[in-house]
């Protein structure tokens, strides 16, 4: 499924590439012209140098800096100068480097006195801090009149920019990081690497220091304004970290999105890292640990998926909320017996009861009424088995088996109906659920709110991914999910706010083709206020230890996030918000 606003990003990238290419062509033309030859004759010490623009900044929607640049220094030794004085001050330079740059004295001395043949310059430290550089340059100035063997003659420094992350680990899995080579990895830094990096420019640089004012003023890369709210992000991360600690879960994910625009207000996952210490990446994310589980790790969601099955059945007209189903605790499909999650027999239930008690057999019945063609057609309309197109690097597709595939069997219709045998990413479930929360219109999730370059801001417009269900179906299912939570006295309920949602508890498949009943994925998806949703939240805790049930570990996390959101977003309780306007 393609994102219709991808063309905007592609267009901007193409324009920048064409602009940069035209500059390079012009430079090459000038370099080979008669004028260039005349300049070279007058200024033989000059030459062509490449200038790299400052990398564009990354800001939250309120202007807080999430990724910027700082000045560091390349500290090195001009070997020609040392060669002229027969390396008299090599020991002094090595000693200063060991004290101020924390380098090994013997190693530096060996670099200086025994360099590779024809090497004219040795870099001691390419990322010295401002304090380190200042201390060395001050020392160099203070000893310049001493005997040559006690000076720092030949020691040079040049400033350059490197990426810095003022918030450390905040939103780390969304932002990604930039290496010392200037390449973005993961998240926004990788997805928008070419735009953020800008266009390098090659120009002729005179050897005459008096002509320094002729150096080019290179415009920085594109600055990105994200949809994230820093305060919301920090609060959600704090809640998730506490939940991991309290439940003993192996990992966790919480996504908060505006279901009407697709704007991601917060996305918290574990583990996370201080982006300024990206060299620890392999330590924090060993093996195949995904950098961002919300977009890169597909899993069997379990009962949260039932909202899609029920949405399809209501929209197709094969069931109505008041229709009843007699649950005997077992349902046969494809010659295989499907049982309820706790082997309970629920007897006669309407469709709200089926959602409230999360009755597997009832959802198998509903899927059977839909049939293969309709069920899988609706699942594809919801985007299952496709990427969402979110503007982050590394999105996984998940997997939806279809009739006719070599690995599809008739029983899959039944198990898929309640979220087994199908894999999704959290962001896919968020996108699909937005259709139910947003009058049947499914929106593309996105992180970039606007791009800024040369003082010009281009806003990214929200895009609708499709309408898999009608507005009437969405309203009906909203009411059903809200009623089911209230009847259940769910741990997700927030006093004063009408909420719709669904829990999920999914056993985890083993490499041996069976499910491990002792470990689960616990989830909850919900949104509110029901009459005018301002947020949609997805919670996933992987392998919680204190309880295997989503209703006991994931639902309370949802509640805590909502309690924070209504304060930070200024959402009054329903009784205040819905009171009639005065005369």
Q: Which parts of 53-128 fold into alpha helices (H)? A: 79-84, 90-100, 105-113
pLDDT band at 517 (very low <50, low <70, confident <90, very high): confident
Classified as helix, coil or strand, 287 is: coil
* Residue 296 among the catalytic residues: no
Both tokens of 540, joined, read 């996933």
pLDDT of 84 over the 90 cut: no
Q: Which of the 8 DSSP states describes residue 189? A: H
Between helices 34-42 and 6-31, what is the axis angle to 10°? 60
Give pLDDT tens digits for 119-131. 889 999 999 999 9
pLDDT of 27 over the 60 cut: no
pLDDT of 496 over the 60 cut: yes
Q: What is the DSSP pairing of strand 58-59 with strand 223-226?
A: parallel
Q: What is the mean pLDDT of residues 389-408?
A: 95
What domains does the chain contain, in order, with CATH numbers? 65-166 (3.90.1310.10), 242-577 (3.40.710.10)
pLDDT at 119: 84
- For residue 75, the cross-strand partners are 125, 157
pLDDT of 200 over the 60 cut: yes
Give pLDDT tens digits for 544-554. 999 999 999 99
Residues near 90 by beta carbon (within 8 Å), at least 6 away in sequence: 82, 109, 112, 113
pLDDT of 138 over the 80 cut: yes
How many Cβ atoms from other residues are within 10 Å of residue 575's Cβ? 9
Classified as helix, coil or strand, 238 is: helix
Residues near 59 by beta carbon (within 8 Å), at least 6 away in sequence: 65, 66, 223, 224, 225, 226
pLDDT at 83: 83
pLDDT at 40: 47
Higher pLDDT, 52 or 2: 52
Biggest distance spanned by C-alpha atoms of the chain: 99
Q: Which of the 8 DSSP states describes residue 423? A: B
pLDDT at 221: 93
pLDDT of 5 over the 60 cut: no
Higher pLDDT, 375 or 46: 375
Report the distance separating Cα 409 and Cα 396, nearest Å: 24
Residue recorded with tokens 């895009």: 463
pLDDT band at 404 (very low <50, low <70, confident <90, very high): very high
Of 48-62, 75-89, 196-210, 236-250, the least confident? 196-210
Report the distance separating Cα 236 and Cα 86, nearest Å: 62
Between CA 55 and CA 61, with CA 57 as vertex, the angle to 5 degrees is: 160
pLDDT at 342: 78
Q: Please choose, from the candidates 491, 529, 565, 486, the residue with its C-alpha nearest in 3D space to the C-alpha of residue 239.
A: 565
How many C-alpha atoms does 528 have within 13 Å on its Cβ side? 29
The model's pTM is 0.86
pLDDT at 36: 47
Report the distance separating Cα 554 and Cα 253, nearest Å: 10
295's enclosing H/E stretch is helix 293-296
pLDDT at 469: 98
Classified as helix, coil or strand, 277 is: helix
Residue recorded with tokens 């450390």: 168
Q: State the catalytic residue, choosing from 157, 235, 296, 303.
A: 303
How many Cβ atoms from other residues are within 10 Å of residue 514's Cβ? 9
How many Cβ atoms from other residues are within 10 Å of residue 454's Cβ? 7
Average model confidence (pLDDT) across the chain: 89
Residue recorded with tokens 């003659």: 153
């Amino acid at each position: 499924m393609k994102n219709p606003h991808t063309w905007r990003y592609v267009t901007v990238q193409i324009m920048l590439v064409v602009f940069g290419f035209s500059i390079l062509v012009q430079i090459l033309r000038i370099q080979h012209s008669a004028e260039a030859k005349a300049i070279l004759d007058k200024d033989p010490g000059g030459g062509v140098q490449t200038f790299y623009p400052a990398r564009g900044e990354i800001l939250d929607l309120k202007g807080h800096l999430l990724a910027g640049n700082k000045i560091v220094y390349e500290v090195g030794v001009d070997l020609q100068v040392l060669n002229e004085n027969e390396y008299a001050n090599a020991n002094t330079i090595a000693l200063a480097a060991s004290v101020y740059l924390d380098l090994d004295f013997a190693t530096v001395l060996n670099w200086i006195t025994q360099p590779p043949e024809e090497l004219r310059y040795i870099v001691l430290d390419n990322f010295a801090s401002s304090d380190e550089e200042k201390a060395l340059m001050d020392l160099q100035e203070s000893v310049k009149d001493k005997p040559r063997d006690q000076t720092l003659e030949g020691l040079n420094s040049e400033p350059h920019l490197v990426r810095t992350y003022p918030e450390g680990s905040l939103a780390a899995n969304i932002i990604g990081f930039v290496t010392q080579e200037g390449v973005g990895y993961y998240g926004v830094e990788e997805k928008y690497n070419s735009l953020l990096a800008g266009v390098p420019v090659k120009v002729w640089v005179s050897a005459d220091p008096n002509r320094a004012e002729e150096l080019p003023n290179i415009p920085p890369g594109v600055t990105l304004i994200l949809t994230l709210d820093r305060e919301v992000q920090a609060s959600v991360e704090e809640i998730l970290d506490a939940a991991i600690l309290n439940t003993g879960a192996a990992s966790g994910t919480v996504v908060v999105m505006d279901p009407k625009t697709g704007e991601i207000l917060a996305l918290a996952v574990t583990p996370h890292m201080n982006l300024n210490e990206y060299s620890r990446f392999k330590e924090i994310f060993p093996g195949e640990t995904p950098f961002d589980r919300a977009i890169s790790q597909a899993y069997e969601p379990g009962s949260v998926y039932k909202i899609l099955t029920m949405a399809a059945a209501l929209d197709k007209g094969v069931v109505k909320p008041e229709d009843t189903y007699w649950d005997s605790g077992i349902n046969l499909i494809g010659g295989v017996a499907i049982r309820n999650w706790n082997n309970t027999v629920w007897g006669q239930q309407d469709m709200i009861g089926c959602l409230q008690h999360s009755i597997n057999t009832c959802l198998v019945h509903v899927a059977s009424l839909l049939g293969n063609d309709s069920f899988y057609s609706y699942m594809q309309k919801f985007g299952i088995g496709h990427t969402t197109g979110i503007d982050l690097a590394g999105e996984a597709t998940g997997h939806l088996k279809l009739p006719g595939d070599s690995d599809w069997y008739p029983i899959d219709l039944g198990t898929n109906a309640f979220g087994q045998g199908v894999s999704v990413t959290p962001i896919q479930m968020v996108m699909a659920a937005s259709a139910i929360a947003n009058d049947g219109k499914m929106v593309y999730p996105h992180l970039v709110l606007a791009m800024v370059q040369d003082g010009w801001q281009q806003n990214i417009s929200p895009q609708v991914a499709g309408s898999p269900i009608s507005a009437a179906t969405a309203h009906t299912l909203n009411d059903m999910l809200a009623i089911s939570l209230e009847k259940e006295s769910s741990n997700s309920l927030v006093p004063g706010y009408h909420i719709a949602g669904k829990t999920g508890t999914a056993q985890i498949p083993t490499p041996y083709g069976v499910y491990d009943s002792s470990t689960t994925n616990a989830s909850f998806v919900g949104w509110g206020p029901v009459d005018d949703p301002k947020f949609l939240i997805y919670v996933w805790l992987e392998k919680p230890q204190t309880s295997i049930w989503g209703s006991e570990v994931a639902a309370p996390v949802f509640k805590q996030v909502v309690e924070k959101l209504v304060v930070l977003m200024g959402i009054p309780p329903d009784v205040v918000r819905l009171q009639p306007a005065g005369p």
